[in-house]
Structure formats: structure tokens, C-alpha cells
Amino acid sequence: MKWKKGLLVYNQNAGGGKLEKNLGECLPVLSCNIEEFLVIQTKEAGDAERICREFGEDMDVVFVLGGDGTVHECVNGLSVLNKRPALGILPGGTCNDFSRTLNLPQKIGKAAEEMMAGRIKEVDVGKAGDRYFLNFWGIGLITDTSSNIDEHEKNLFGKIGYFLSAIRTLGDNEPFSFTMEYDGKTIEDEAIMILVLNGKYIGTNLLPFPLIDSQDGVMDIVILKKSNIAVFKELLAMKRLAAESAEPDSGVWYLQASDIKIQTSQEMEADTDGEIYLKTPANIQVLQNHLPMLCGPEA
């Protein structure tokens, strides 16, 4: 695959101290296929979004080397543009969740080589208010788990740090009251977690919802009503054949919708692709096939 103009945005902290090695693995591969290649390092939060917004429309392709937070910034920078270049993820973080949904290798050099095949998917993007997300939006347990991550454990154990955080959080969650309108229907109930999903992975874990498709024009909604082992076993064993499952006695509800409004009895923080800065109430819409992304071969 050859492009006339390309941009690489990289996080100086990507790769856990292996930045020089990571750049050495991907730059020779990418630069051979791009006539004019701009490479910019981020220095502080918000840089990746600003860079993508400033240069994106002039580019044929944008690559991002960093973790899920840097990818989230790039998505927000590119999604507002009228002319959106192809986006390629070089997995330089702890989890790299959406790159897994795209079936890309988790070695940076291999991911660069794979993307040179030029396979492009037009993927859906979620819009919450005036912000955009690629992988998920969530409240409740998911937000508390992210907030409780010990940075030392994260650096030392990688993805295992997320499991340790989840274990600490489980059992501490009180249910919250919510009202959700989705495609003309309404639910009023209590839950410990609501997830709105576009990607198939969270914390490197493949989610047990086979209907998730980042090109189908709907988000997959998971409502976890209780916090106990039986419910988590039900969650992990889910193999849904129908598009909707909301049995009154079930501990897990599974829905799909393209227009979602969520209100909670008290304002709650929302986790958006691993970044916590939005709050409820939320108005979530699906922008179908909004962003062209380089992907690996079909699984």
C-alpha cells in the first residue's frame, strides 16, 4: 500500500520505556510506503487530538503509536473533520483493546507490516455529547475499576493490574438507579454497571457477546444488575443468539440500539475508552461507518 501523505503521532511514554525500539520497528516499514511523512511526538495530554485536528484533512493516512488513551485522543481529533484519513493503530499501550478488535498483531513491527496490506474497515464511532469514543462508554463498576488501578501494579503487571483492581472493586458497588431510553423504548431500574460497546475487548479480555460488530450501526448495551459470583458466571457464559435479552429475573441485560439516553439518580462519572472525564446524563449516538481504519485479516 502506498500513500502520498502520512502522519505518525506517537506518545513519548508509549511502550513502557521502549520508545526508541518501537520507533525503530515501525518507522522503516511505514516510511517506505509514504512519500511525505510527518512524525510528531506528543508532550502533554490533548496534544494527539490537537495534532490530528490540525493536520488530519491534509493526510491520506494517520498512524498512532500509543495506548488506548492516545488512540482516544486521535479519534476525537479526526472524527470532527469533513475529510477523514485512514487511521492505523500501532499498539504501544497496556491493553490496546480496539487494535485487537481490528485483529492487528500486538507487536508493533508486525502491526506495521500487516497494515501495509491496506485492508480498510469503515468503523462506527460513538458520540457522547460532543465527544467521541471508539471502544466503549460505561458507568458504575467499570469506572470504579479504572479509578482503583494502582499505577505501580499497572506498570509492573500490565493487564493483570486491571484484574487486581476489579477484584478490589467487586463487592464495594452499591446499585444506582437509572432511566434509559433506547430507540423509542424505556427501562427504569437499578444496576451496578452499564456498558455501551463498540469494540470486542476491554482490558485485553474478549467480551462474551458475539453480536458485537463495529460496522453494524448499533451499540451493544450490557446492564449488570447485581454484584455476585452467579451473575458474573452468567455474564461470562453468554452466547446470545437473539438481538435482545432483558428477562426480569436475569442479572444481565443485553440490548442493541443506535440512539441511547441515560439518566442516573445522581451524577456519575463515565469511563470512555479508559478515560474518565464525562458524566451522566448522557446522550449517545452511533455514527455508522464514520472512520476508515486499517485492520488485520478477517479472523
Which residues are known to be catalytic?
275
Packing angle, helices 47-55 and 68-79, rounded to 10:
30
CA 88, CA 104: separation in Å to the nearest integer?
A: 10
